[in-house]
Amino acid sequence: MQEELLSILAMRQVDKHEKYLGIPTIIGKSKKMVFSALKDRIWKKLSGWKEIFLSRAGKEILLKSVIQAIPTYIMGVYKIPAGVIDDIHAMMARFWWGQEDDKRRVHWKSWKDLCTPKFLGGMGFRDLRVFNDALLGRQAWRLTSNPNSLLNRFFMRNTIREKNFLDARLGVGGSYSWRSVVKSVI
């Protein structure tokens, strides 16, 4: 029956779903390896702009509107490891301060200082750790405010087995996505 459907619909059979909508479906023990594709995407964008001479305002707009938007979708599903976020922040800082022939320039302020709001003396860049927690916290809010949603019913039946999301414990089981959402509110 499967082969018949494949021939009628003129589709090919996928043996293994590694990604769905650009997000890895299976997360193993090595989180850094899984999220290395995210770092590669960001590095390709930044290295493509390296040759272009941009003003500070141009660099700010590119970092805020393009680079910080790349990980947004995946951050709403998974907790990105701290080492990966540190690498992304380092790439953004090198782009911001500039470099010539693989020689880094002086970074006059730390990236943490640049992530503070402009009215407090920073540049208003996003701290991706805080942003990741906020997006995962939004998922937790959806689970608590929509108890009849399909996602909530799935988690209640297969993962938590409690009546309420707020009563759930992290435990040993559960997917990386589930653990990411629970860790965002603990």
Top-confidence residue, 114 or 14: 114
Q: Residue written as tokens 């702009």?
A: 49
Element (H, E) at 136: helix 128-145
pTM for this entry: 0.77
Q: What is the dihedral of CA 174, 175, 180, 186, to 10 degrees?
A: 0
Q: Is 90 exceeded by the pLDDT of residue 161?
A: no
Q: Tokens at residue 28, please? A: 């193993």
Q: Is 90 exceeded by the pLDDT of residue 101?
A: no
Top-confidence residue, 1 or 128: 128
Q: Picking from 81-85, 126-130, 166-170, which range would have the lowest pLDDT averaged per residue? A: 166-170
Q: Quick one: pLDDT at residue 129?
A: 92
Integer Cα distance of 17 and 34 in angstroms: 14
Q: Tokens at residue 47, please? A: 């290295």
Q: Is 90 exceeded by the pLDDT of residue 103?
A: no
Average pLDDT for residues 6-34, to the nearest whole number?
A: 71
Average pLDDT for residues 1-5, to the nearest whole number?
A: 83
* Whether 137 contacts 147, CB under 8 Å: no
Average pLDDT, the chain: 80
Beta strand segments in 30-69, E:
none
Q: Tokens at residue 165, please? A: 């999301």
Q: 126 phi and psi, to 5 degrees?
A: -75, 135
Beta strand segments in 25-158, E:
99-100, 103-104
Domain ranges in the chain are 32-129, 133-185
* 37-88 pLDDT, tens digit each: 888 889 888 888 765 678 888 888 888 898 889 888 888 888 998 899 999 9
Most confident of 22-31, 123-132, 164-173: 123-132
Q: Of 24, 50, 49, nearest to 37 (Cα)?
A: 24
Q: Tokens at residue 144, please? A: 């608590």
Q: Which residues, listed in sequence order, are joined to residue 123 by a DSSP beta bridge?
A: none
Q: Is 70 exceeded by the pLDDT of residue 157?
A: no
Q: Residue written as tokens 């500039």?
A: 98
